[in-house]
Amino acid sequence: MPKIIMQNQNSETKKTKKIIFIAVLILISFFVGLLIGVSGSENSNFIIKNNQGELKNKDTEISTYLSKDVDFKLFWKTWDTIREKYIDSSGTKDSQMFYGSLSGLVASLNDPYSIFLPPDISEEFNSELEGKFDGIGAELSIKDEKITVIAPLPNSPAEKAGIKAGDVILAINKIDTSYISLNNAVGMIRGEKGTKVTLTIQSGSEKERDIEITRDEIHYESIKTNTGKPEIDKLLNDRNIAYIKITHFNQDTESLFEKAVNDSLNKQYIILDLRNNPGGYLTTAIKVSSYWIDNNIIVKEVSKNREKTQNYSSTGFAKLKDKKTVVLVNKGSASASEIVAGALQDYKVATIIGETTFGKGSVQDLTKLPDGSSIKLTIAKWLTPHDRAIDKEGIKPDIEIILSGDDYNKDKDPQLDKAIELLK
């Protein structure tokens, strides 16, 4: 977005208002178009163009998409009051106020997965999907109105510091997170390699504790074909078991998973480890599931009020359908991980071992905006092929085994041990 310079308080403020007003209303019209079920870029563009043509000044009638009890003049009254009275002049930058208003607009939905990403955060989000960024290496979300760790990345600073899936972040550098948005929390935790951040963590019913973490450059591949423990890897090989761990469903996952599968075709058994996998691309989850499920539904996408259901079916040849398979999950397995686990469980092509998954069964649409910002908006919910709800419910394992804090500290893995035992 071009920087707006306030040269003349009276004339320039009017220009600024008009530009920002138009931009805000365009975003609102797009957002409302999604909510009322308008699909396809042609229809959405029509709504935007139609509203653009009507926006001649800030007093233009906008009742076509705002309820009649909304007085939009309050927005400008608030804007003017901040500019005229706020004590810190650095806090009245037009771009800061503008992006803050857009963030608040999306935050008003009270949906932890719908967020507005300013250009800098949007760039970091895209970098994370590509598997590289600076930070501590932990996926965060809002659960029970608290900032919660979905999962730490393997070998990340967060994991090495003892951060676990399900940990609640009570404070960041002693700043209470109760009233901090997820966006702001991520921004506060992220930082340049070598710098430090202190998180106040609560794990279950344990007493809260401070953990100081040194940020690092995070690089990871989304597929691993060994556990990192030589004695376990030898045991797996001796028992003719292929081990494949998916850490994210990212841009590189499909090609890496295909290679891992081809290298495993001579094995009799498969362990698919989805623990601490926070999700990723839907298309990747479908293609991974398709290695076990042939010519059938993988997941169902249900729109608002169940007015419309879209079925996503398997693609390609199910190379692993005859391989006895165990899938490992825990409360850090979310979204795309739950799609895969749910589909394989519904069709009884795998045994699910571990803990009930996170329960993120909602669909987010990522819309990139011209200035580099983006909107991640919930547009639907997931159901498994047999119509089980994923959102807030999660996938319950066939065999429940809890990985205790004592197991973690002693580097024990009873979930993997059970999987090996089962594959005989």
| Residue found by looking up tokens 């857009």 in the block | 102
The verdict on whether 346 is a catalytic residue reads yes
Residue 61: per-residue pLDDT? 46
For the cut 60, the answer to whether the pLDDT of residue 15 exceeds it is: no
pLDDT tens-digit profile of 150-164?
878 888 999 999 998
**Confidence class of residue 407 from pLDDT cuts 50, 70 and 90?**
confident
Token pair in block for residue 77: 């009254």
Residue 18: per-residue pLDDT? 44
Mean pLDDT over residues 350-356, rounded? 98
Residue 306: per-residue pLDDT? 66
For residue 107, report the phi and psi dihedrals to the nearest 5 degrees: -65, -25
For the cut 80, the answer to whether the pLDDT of residue 290 exceeds it is: yes
Q: Which residue has the higher pLDDT, 134 or 373?
A: 373
For the cut 50, the answer to whether the pLDDT of residue 244 exceeds it is: yes
Residue 82: per-residue pLDDT? 87
Mean pLDDT over residues 132-152, rounded? 85
**Confidence class of residue 396 from pLDDT cuts 50, 70 and 90?**
very high
Domain 133-219 has CATH 3.40.50.10490: no
CATH number for the region 223-422 comes to 3.90.226.10
Which one from 335, 337, 362, 374 is the annotated catalytic residue?
Answer: 335
Which one from 94, 167, 346, 413 is the annotated catalytic residue?
Answer: 346
The verdict on whether 360 is a catalytic residue reads yes
Mean pLDDT over residues 226-249, rounded? 93
**Confidence class of residue 128 from pLDDT cuts 50, 70 and 90?**
low
Mean pLDDT over residues 100-106, rounded? 89
Residue 30: per-residue pLDDT? 36
Residue 35: per-residue pLDDT? 31
For the cut 50, the answer to whether the pLDDT of residue 28 exceeds it is: no
Chain-centre distance of CA 196, in angstroms?
24
- In percent, the amount of the chain with pLDDT more than 90 equals 47
For the cut 90, the answer to whether the pLDDT of residue 228 exceeds it is: no
Residue 131: per-residue pLDDT? 57
Please tell me which of 48-52, 71-75, 76-80, 303-307 the model is most confident about, judged by mean pLDDT. Answer: 76-80
Q: Name the residue ranges covered by the structural domains of the chain.
A: 9-92, 133-219, 223-422
pLDDT tens-digit profile of 60-91?
444 455 555 677 788 889 888 988 888 876 65
Which one from 245, 360, 362, 373 is the annotated catalytic residue?
Answer: 360
For the cut 50, the answer to whether the pLDDT of residue 235 exceeds it is: yes
Among 352, 163, 211, CA closest to 274: 352
For the cut 70, the answer to whether the pLDDT of residue 178 exceeds it is: yes
**What value does the mean pLDDT of the chain take?**
81
Q: Alpha-carbon distance 119 to 403, whole Å? A: 39
- In percent, the amount of the chain with pLDDT more than 70 equals 80
Residue 293: per-residue pLDDT? 97
Distances (CA, A) of 185 to 179, 182, 195, 277, 401: 10, 5, 16, 20, 32
Q: What is the DSSP string of 350-383?
A: SEEEES------EEEEEEE-TTS-EEEEEEEEEE
Mean pLDDT over residues 195-203, rounded? 95
2 by DSSP, 3-state: which? coil
For residue 308, report the phi and psi dihedrals to the nearest 5 degrees: -145, 135
Mean pLDDT over residues 2-31, rounded? 38
Q: Alpha-carbon distance 391 to 183, whole Å? A: 21
Q: Which residue has the higher pLDDT, 222 or 17?
A: 222
For the cut 70, the answer to whether the pLDDT of residue 144 exceeds it is: yes
Length, in residues, of the chain: 424
Residue 33: per-residue pLDDT? 34
For residue 212, report the phi and psi dihedrals to the nearest 5 degrees: -90, 125
For residue 202, report the phi and psi dihedrals to the nearest 5 degrees: -125, 125
For residue 33, report the phi and psi dihedrals to the nearest 5 degrees: -60, -40
What DSSP state is assigned to residue 306?
Answer: G
Distances (CA, A) of 28 to 18, 94, 377: 15, 19, 13
Residue 142: per-residue pLDDT? 83
What DSSP state is assigned to residue 90?
Answer: G
Token pair in block for residue 208: 């809260």
Q: Alpha-carbon distance 268 to 249, whole Å? A: 25
Residue 225: per-residue pLDDT? 95
**Confidence class of residue 127 from pLDDT cuts 50, 70 and 90?**
low
